[in-house]
Amino acid sequence: MERSLHDRDRVGVQDSVLLDNYRSEDAFLGNLKKRFKENIIYTYIGHVLVSVNPYKDLPIYGPKTIKEYRNTHIIENPPHVYAITEAAYNSLIEESQDQCILISGESGSGKTEASKKVLEYIAAVTDHRGQVQPVKEKLLQCNPVLEAFGNAKTTRNDNSSRFGKYMDIEFNSLGDPVGGNILNYLLEKSRVVGQNPGERNFHIFYQLLEGGEPELMEALHLTRKIDYYNYISKAGKDSKVGADGLNDARHLKEVCNAMTILGLSAREQGEILAIVASVLHLGNIDVSEQQGVAVLDNFAHIFAAAELLGCPEDVLRSALTHRTILARGDTVTSPLDRETAVYARDALAKAVYARLFSWLVQRFNKSLQPAARSKTARNHLMGILDIYGFEIFRHNSFEQFCINYCNEKLQQVFIKLTLQSEQEEYLKEGIEWEPVEYFDNNVIINLIEQKHKGIISLLDEECLRPGDTSDLTFLEKISEQLNQHEHFISHKKADNKTKKIMSREEFVLVHYAGEVTYDVNGFLDKNNDLLYRDLREMMSSTTNNIARVLFPKSELQSKKRPETAISQFKNSLNQLMSILMSKEPSYIRCIKPNDFKQAGVFSDEIVGHQVKYLGLMENLRVRRAGFAYRRQFEQFLQRYKSLCPKTWPSYKGPAKDGVRVLIQHLGYQPDEFRIGETKIFIRHPQTLFEIEDAFQAR
């Protein structure tokens, strides 16, 4: 572990603000790299924690380290996710401020691992009276279940979260956790019915096949052959256990155990696994065509799916091959052709699975409700946000559009809160400062979500408009209306101006993090998120209790058109934004050191790219624009009082005066510092080095 600033040559600086050449990206990267090579994965930019994924287990976690960070100020120890958590927790208790810890970074950068460390720290340092053990246990057990159902192996990450998660922990006035609440965002449900080469479906499918006891397998009509099931066999040999360290069989036991701790009954667990199995069976129902009409083959799977969901076999068969439309009070039923029946089958599998996932979250929330809230003292919240990072794939679709839109929104929060709090601090402390230029991505957010004119409005319009609409008419529309926008490139503009090679089914958005080419194929369909009435009706009468509540009858009776997927997402994101803005934020910016999930490899290019788009250099400049360092008078005096005879062993009088005496003794030039209301501000890191070195050399 690094001990002092004396180690600078070997382990770089703990806080990038202390870099001499803070404007240079090379210097910033060099510092991260130097530290990474020494297995020091954490570095600060002021109070923002930068974390570089080591891809190996380091002995830097656990009870001993937690003890070292407990009750310390953030500057007293080397940077760590525990230090950020301690600071947030401390502020929650001492200042009664709601907190949120925002964890961002691209896939595989370590967000989920970081979020678990935050939770682990909170669990370790709370509950002095031993009264909230069950709550802590429940909070910790949500993760294994949510990961089983919401994570999957992708080319980027063996345990990639395919949903966004915001978890609030609720604390009583003693600072002990008494409950929690989880919000989940947009599960990537297309994965249920198909995956890219080398990727897997959600973990739970493999866990069930590998780990299910023989009686369970029999009851669910499953065989252990992964290759046998269409929805999960795409990954081929990659889906097997072993080489990847994915121990599916063991995980199933953990998942069931976690569900038990969370209060799910054996019956509920049975119904959940029955639904998971029914999805596998649905995938194996083959559809052929006779005279233009869809015919289902493979009776065994129709039978199994119907039994597990709890509906008559002929009802399932009919619902998968017919479509009933209500028109002016009349119902018209017509048979589906093969293609449409396959579409209907996949839509059912996706809907059942995604709704089951949301049901699980709701069920956990019920279990995490505080037993009783005090009428007099308000409880406080600490939120942890672990949400998908910016994605640029070779092929980007509706899902990437949603994810990247979400990241634009989060970047906006980051910009507002880091700049705003910096400005506010100078204002509050009565100190002049010089603003820093930064790119405000609001212009891109407008392009996406402006009423009537933005991409979301235009997409919804095309989804709702009767007549001959398609992905291409949508593309035509945005190309026409947004052609002038500086962050939008249509294939028309590309031909003329930028000479970009784009197909006629693509458009480009210039995101804050880079240009992304989106393929419009599937946009309307995914946004409409249509599930035929016959299937919803069938599901709402099933005897599997969980399956039935996933599709409430009220939904069928409602005259209102269901909200489109993107509108729902937009609304839930805006709610999330107001939640985050009402809390005191802490940031963890996660970085992936290479593309090969490999330990010890630090690619300048790959890290450099992330540093750029996470806005870390801007962040650093803002932090440095005024005064690089600031300390509460009391803390500053406490740490350095030994450097001046007049303040040692203690200063009798206000800390502010003590600080004045101390820095006069140290010979600070007037321009080098400012005395605010509660803090001393120091302009240059060098000044701090000198005093810190003197302190270390005492």
C-alpha span between 688 and 61 (Å, rounded)? 29
Q: Taking contact as CB under 6 A, which single stretch among the options 48-56, 492-500, 563-571, 638-646 is the one that binds ligand ATP?
A: 48-56
Query: Which alpha helices (DSSP H) does 369-437 contain, by range?
Result: 398-428
Q: What residues from 153 to 192 belong to the interface with ligand ATP (CB under 6 A)?
A: 157, 159-161
Per DSSP (E only), the strands in 34-118 are 42-45, 48-52, 99-104
Residue 388 binds which entry of ligand ATP, Mg ion, none, with Cβ cut-offs from 5 to 8 Å by kind? ligand ATP
Q: CB of 170 within 8 A of CB of 177? A: yes
Determine, following the binding rule CB under 6 A, whether residue 110 of this chain makes contact with ligand ATP: yes
Nearer to ligand ATP, 37 or 553 (CB): 37
DSSP secondary structure, 651-673, as one string: --S-HHHHHHHHHHHHT--GGGE
- Residue of the chain from 14, 43, 109, 564 that contacts ligand ATP (CB under 6 A): 109
Determine, following the binding rule CB under 6 A, whether residue 54 of this chain makes contact with ligand ATP: yes
Nearer to ligand ATP, 108 or 615 (CB): 108
Q: CB of 132 within 8 A of CB of 379? A: no
Nearer to ligand ATP, 59 or 649 (CB): 59
* Nearest distance from C-beta of residue 113 to ligand ATP, angstroms: 3
Is 104 part of the annotated catalytic residue set? no
Return the amino acid letter for 593: P
- Residue of the chain from 79, 105, 164, 179 that contacts ligand ATP (CB under 6 A): 105
Q: What residues from 113 to 152 belong to the interface with ligand ATP (CB under 6 A)?
A: 113
Nearer to ligand ATP, 110 or 454 (CB): 110
Determine, following the binding rule CB under 6 A, whether residue 112 of this chain makes contact with ligand ATP: yes
Residue 526 binds which entry of Mg ion, ligand ATP, none, with Cβ cut-offs from 5 to 8 Å by kind? none
* Nearest distance from C-beta of residue 161 to Mg ion, angstroms: 3
Residue 107 binds which entry of Mg ion, ligand ATP, none, with Cβ cut-offs from 5 to 8 Å by kind? ligand ATP
Nearer to Mg ion, 164 or 283 (CB): 164
C-alpha span between 466 and 327 (Å, rounded)? 14
Per DSSP (E only), the strands in 212-256 are none
Is 160 part of the annotated catalytic residue set? yes
- Give the residue among 74, 105, 68 at the shortest CA–CA distance from 410: 105
User: Can you give the binding site for Mg ion, defined by CB under 5 A?
Assistant: 111-112, 161
Q: At what angle do helices 313-321 and 299-309 cross, to 10 degrees?
A: 110
Q: Which is catalytic among the residues 16, 43, 143, 160? A: 160
Is 161 part of the annotated catalytic residue set? yes
Determine, following the binding rule CB under 6 A, whether residue 584 of this chain makes contact with ligand ATP: no
Nearer to ligand ATP, 160 or 400 (CB): 160
Which two structure tokens, joined as six digits, stand for 155?
């080319």
Is 391 part of the annotated catalytic residue set? yes
Site string for ligand ATP, 369-388 (x = CB under 6 A): -------------------x
Q: CB of 21 within 8 A of CB of 596? A: no
Which two structure tokens, joined as six digits, stand for 361?
């979250």
- Give the residue among 619, 651, 646, 584 at the shortest CA–CA distance from 101: 584
* Nearest distance from C-beta of residue 527 to ligand ATP, angstroms: 23
Residue 110 binds which entry of Mg ion, ligand ATP, none, with Cβ cut-offs from 5 to 8 Å by kind? ligand ATP
Nearer to ligand ATP, 599 or 666 (CB): 599
Determine, following the binding rule CB under 6 A, whether residue 486 of this chain makes contact with ligand ATP: no
Buried b (16+ CB within 10 A) or exposed e, 415-448: bbbbbeebeebbeebebebeebeeeebeebbebb
Determine, following the binding rule CB under 6 A, whether residue 78 of this chain makes contact with ligand ATP: no
Is 389 part of the annotated catalytic residue set? yes
Q: At what angle do helices 398-428 and 565-581 cross, to 10 degrees?
A: 20
DSSP secondary structure, 6-38, as one string: GGHHHH--SBGGG-TTTT-HHHHHHHHHHHHHT
- Residue of the chain from 50, 252, 538, 590 that contacts ligand ATP (CB under 6 A): 590
| Residue bearing tokens 């600490």 | 382
Q: CB of 575 within 8 A of CB of 589? A: no
Chain contacts with ligand ATP (rule: CB under 6 A) = 53-55, 57-58, 105, 107-113, 157, 159-161, 388-389, 590
Q: Which residues are catalytic?
A: 107-108, 112, 157, 160-161, 389, 391
